[in-house]
Structure 1
Amino acid sequence: MMSESEEHGSLLDKINDKINEKIHEYKHSSSSSSSSDSDDDKKPKKSKKKKLFGRKHPLHHVLGGGKAADLVLWRNKQASGSILVGVTVIWLLFEGIGYHLLTFLCHALIVFLTIWFIWSNAASFVNRSPPKFPEVILSEVQCMKVAHVARKEINEAFYTLRNVASGKDLKTYLMLQCCGSFP
């Protein structure tokens, strides 16, 4: 009778032999030449390059084959690099430095306004025409539509607050207590 360690060793030997057989079969089937077959000589030889994850189409085709695929695959190096640098700068501003979106938008508008101011004042010194600013005119109808929508939303918020404060809307009250945000 074999001891437990001998049984375990023989089991490992069997598994190891099976693995070696599979490896040998794989190496033998991939390296075998088909020069002895007469049918294979008549067919044109195609290089059967294995593609990642068993794809049948090239990766450019799988990604859509357009400009987006060119950017992802770095075929247009200048555009891909520009996007990478831009996204990295945005990430550094917001995550690394702790900049906030509203602060960023305000600073961008201030810089934009300053550039337009300097450009329009310097245009007379360099004999160029000043920049043309678009004329924005809001009609009374548009302003009334915005006012009506804002009034409706504010009234709904006041109605909800009144119901929560008076105890009529327990579900919203508990949701505010748990989550800390208004629905």
Structure 2
Amino acid sequence: MPIYSSSSDSEDHHHHRRPTPVASRRPHFGHGGGRPMHMHARLGGGHVADILLWRNKNLSAAILVGFTFIWFLFEVMEYTFVSLLCHISILAMALLFLWSTGAAFVDWNPPNYRAFTVPESTIRWLLGRLNYFLWKFCEISSGQNIRTFFLVITVLWILSVIGNYFSSLNLLYIGFVCLATLPAMYERYQNEVDYLASKGNQDMKKLYDRFDAQVLDKIPRKPAMKERRRF
């Protein structure tokens, strides 16, 4: 007995094959759950995020001016790190001495030395970031994701070439300026950056697929490893 497909089944079939509308697509830098994640939450949602996104403009500007002044001392004035550290220590000791001795003659509160200590939570956070970086470095180096492995190798090679033309201090200062300005610029122009990043990601995927077909597939591998990489 022949079986005839109804028009409703055909419509349902085409309905399920219909591509996802552009408006509902997830942004390139969005959260994995489908709902885009705000830049403030991606940066940790704390005081560091407030500084990087210039929520407190006075504090962010003061930090940027401070790092610019330090770069000016080292790079332009050719100040040495040991001399700067010693001079800062001498100035801090003189101020604390005047503060402590002046509190006995004037109605001042003596300095609270606990305010000059680094909180243990900050040290734990730094160690956690360092351990995460080391774990991520080992994971990428294992070759589980070939695309990420070659991407990191390319970025490190580009940085090594750039390092031949810039000093380490200039690279650190440029990196800090980018860190202090790019998140705020991205938050302001998020839609435009996501669109350009999506196009760039598609172009990189096409380039990697071509490299995979012409180079990686020709590398001799064990049958099990090659079969696992394909699936």
Interval containing the TM-score (normalised by the shorter chain): 0.3 to 0.5
Indicate the structure whose relative CO is greater, using CA pairs within 8 Å and at least 6 residues apart.
2
Could you state the TM-score of these two structures normalised by the residue count of structure 1? 0.37
Could you state the TM-score of these two structures normalised by the residue count of structure 2? 0.30
The structure with the largest helix share of the pair is: 2
Structure number, greater radius of gyration: 1
